[in-house]
Amino acid sequence: MDEKANSLVKLVVSELVTNAVRHSASGGRCGRVKVTVEMLPGRVVLVSVTDDGARALRPITVPTLANHMDDAEECGRGLRLVAALAEKWWWTGCRGGPLTVWALIDPDRDLDT
Protein backbone atom coordinates (compact mmCIF):
# COMPACT_ATOMS: atom_id res chain seq x y z
CA MET A 1 0.00 0.00 0.00
CA ASP A 2 1.38 3.41 -0.89
CA GLU A 3 1.48 6.38 1.51
CA LYS A 4 -1.83 7.91 0.32
CA ALA A 5 -3.72 4.62 0.67
CA ASN A 6 -2.07 3.98 4.02
CA SER A 7 -3.10 7.41 5.32
CA LEU A 8 -6.71 7.04 4.15
CA VAL A 9 -7.02 3.59 5.71
CA LYS A 10 -5.49 4.76 9.01
CA LEU A 11 -7.87 7.72 9.20
CA VAL A 12 -10.97 5.63 8.45
CA VAL A 13 -9.93 2.90 10.91
CA SER A 14 -9.21 5.50 13.59
CA GLU A 15 -12.65 7.10 13.19
CA LEU A 16 -14.50 3.77 13.18
CA VAL A 17 -12.62 2.41 16.20
CA THR A 18 -13.24 5.66 18.08
CA ASN A 19 -16.97 5.35 17.34
CA ALA A 20 -17.00 1.73 18.51
CA VAL A 21 -15.31 2.68 21.79
CA ARG A 22 -17.50 5.75 22.39
CA HIS A 23 -20.87 4.27 21.45
CA SER A 24 -20.74 0.57 22.36
CA ALA A 25 -19.70 -1.89 25.04
CA SER A 26 -16.28 -1.91 23.39
CA GLY A 27 -15.54 1.20 25.46
CA GLY A 28 -16.29 -0.57 28.72
CA ARG A 29 -14.08 -2.68 30.92
CA CYS A 30 -12.63 -5.58 28.92
CA GLY A 31 -14.22 -4.16 25.77
CA ARG A 32 -12.97 -5.34 22.41
CA VAL A 33 -12.90 -4.04 18.86
CA LYS A 34 -12.11 -6.26 15.90
CA VAL A 35 -10.51 -4.57 12.87
CA THR A 36 -9.89 -6.18 9.50
CA VAL A 37 -8.25 -4.62 6.48
CA GLU A 38 -8.39 -6.47 3.18
CA MET A 39 -6.74 -5.53 -0.11
CA LEU A 40 -9.09 -6.11 -3.03
CA PRO A 41 -8.26 -6.08 -6.74
CA GLY A 42 -7.49 -2.66 -8.18
CA ARG A 43 -5.91 -1.23 -5.00
CA VAL A 44 -9.30 -0.99 -3.31
CA VAL A 45 -9.25 -1.59 0.44
CA LEU A 46 -12.11 -3.05 2.47
CA VAL A 47 -12.09 -2.10 6.16
CA SER A 48 -14.38 -3.57 8.81
CA VAL A 49 -14.66 -2.63 12.48
CA THR A 50 -16.79 -4.78 14.80
CA ASP A 51 -17.86 -3.63 18.25
CA ASP A 52 -19.10 -5.54 21.33
CA GLY A 53 -22.73 -4.44 21.03
CA ALA A 54 -24.78 -2.00 23.06
CA ARG A 55 -23.67 -0.71 26.45
CA ALA A 56 -25.86 -1.67 29.37
CA LEU A 57 -28.26 1.04 30.55
CA ARG A 58 -27.60 3.23 27.51
CA PRO A 59 -29.84 3.88 24.51
CA ILE A 60 -29.25 1.48 21.62
CA THR A 61 -27.80 3.31 18.62
CA VAL A 62 -26.75 2.41 15.10
CA PRO A 63 -24.37 4.31 12.81
CA THR A 64 -26.19 7.07 10.93
CA LEU A 65 -25.31 10.37 9.33
CA ALA A 66 -27.10 13.36 10.79
CA ASN A 67 -29.24 15.33 8.34
CA HIS A 68 -27.48 18.55 9.32
CA MET A 69 -24.40 19.49 11.32
CA ASP A 70 -24.30 22.04 14.10
CA ASP A 71 -20.83 23.57 14.42
CA ALA A 72 -21.25 23.55 18.20
CA GLU A 73 -21.89 19.78 18.32
CA GLU A 74 -19.08 17.71 19.77
CA CYS A 75 -20.02 14.47 17.99
CA GLY A 76 -21.08 13.48 14.50
CA ARG A 77 -18.11 14.40 12.36
CA GLY A 78 -16.27 11.07 12.38
CA LEU A 79 -18.79 9.09 10.37
CA ARG A 80 -19.27 12.04 8.03
CA LEU A 81 -15.50 11.98 7.43
CA VAL A 82 -15.63 8.24 6.75
CA ALA A 83 -18.47 8.81 4.27
CA ALA A 84 -16.39 11.48 2.49
CA LEU A 85 -13.25 9.32 2.26
CA ALA A 86 -14.88 6.00 1.37
CA GLU A 87 -16.47 4.95 -1.90
CA LYS A 88 -19.18 3.40 0.22
CA TRP A 89 -19.81 2.64 3.89
CA TRP A 90 -22.47 0.54 5.59
CA TRP A 91 -23.12 -1.47 8.71
CA THR A 92 -24.32 -4.98 9.44
CA GLY A 93 -25.60 -6.64 12.59
CA CYS A 94 -28.65 -6.36 14.81
CA ARG A 95 -29.70 -3.39 16.95
CA GLY A 96 -28.36 -4.02 20.45
CA GLY A 97 -25.93 -6.71 19.32
CA PRO A 98 -22.44 -6.41 17.92
CA LEU A 99 -22.30 -4.20 14.82
CA THR A 100 -19.77 -4.19 12.03
CA VAL A 101 -19.14 -0.98 10.11
CA TRP A 102 -17.64 -1.47 6.66
CA ALA A 103 -15.84 1.04 4.45
CA LEU A 104 -14.67 0.54 0.88
CA ILE A 105 -11.70 2.81 0.16
CA ASP A 106 -10.31 3.54 -3.29
CA PRO A 107 -7.05 5.49 -2.85
CA ASP A 108 -7.17 6.52 -6.53
CA ARG A 109 -10.58 8.20 -6.15
CA ASP A 110 -10.64 11.96 -6.60
CA LEU A 111 -11.68 13.27 -3.17
CA ASP A 112 -12.38 16.77 -4.52
CA THR A 113 -15.67 15.70 -6.10
Q: Are the CB atoms for 55 and 25 separated by under 8 Å?
A: yes
Task: List the one residue out of 49, 32, 44 whose CA is nearest residue 8.
Answer: 44
Distance, in Å, from the CA atom of 2 to the CA atom of 92, rounded to the nearest integer, reads 29
Higher pLDDT: 25 or 68? It is 25
Q: In order of start, what are the domains of the chain with their CATH numbers?
A: 3-105 (3.30.565.10)
Q: Would you state the pLDDT for residue 1?
A: 81
Percent with pLDDT over 70 in the chain? 90
Helix (H, G, I), strand (E, B), or coil: what is residue 24? coil
Q: Would you state the pLDDT for residue 70?
A: 63
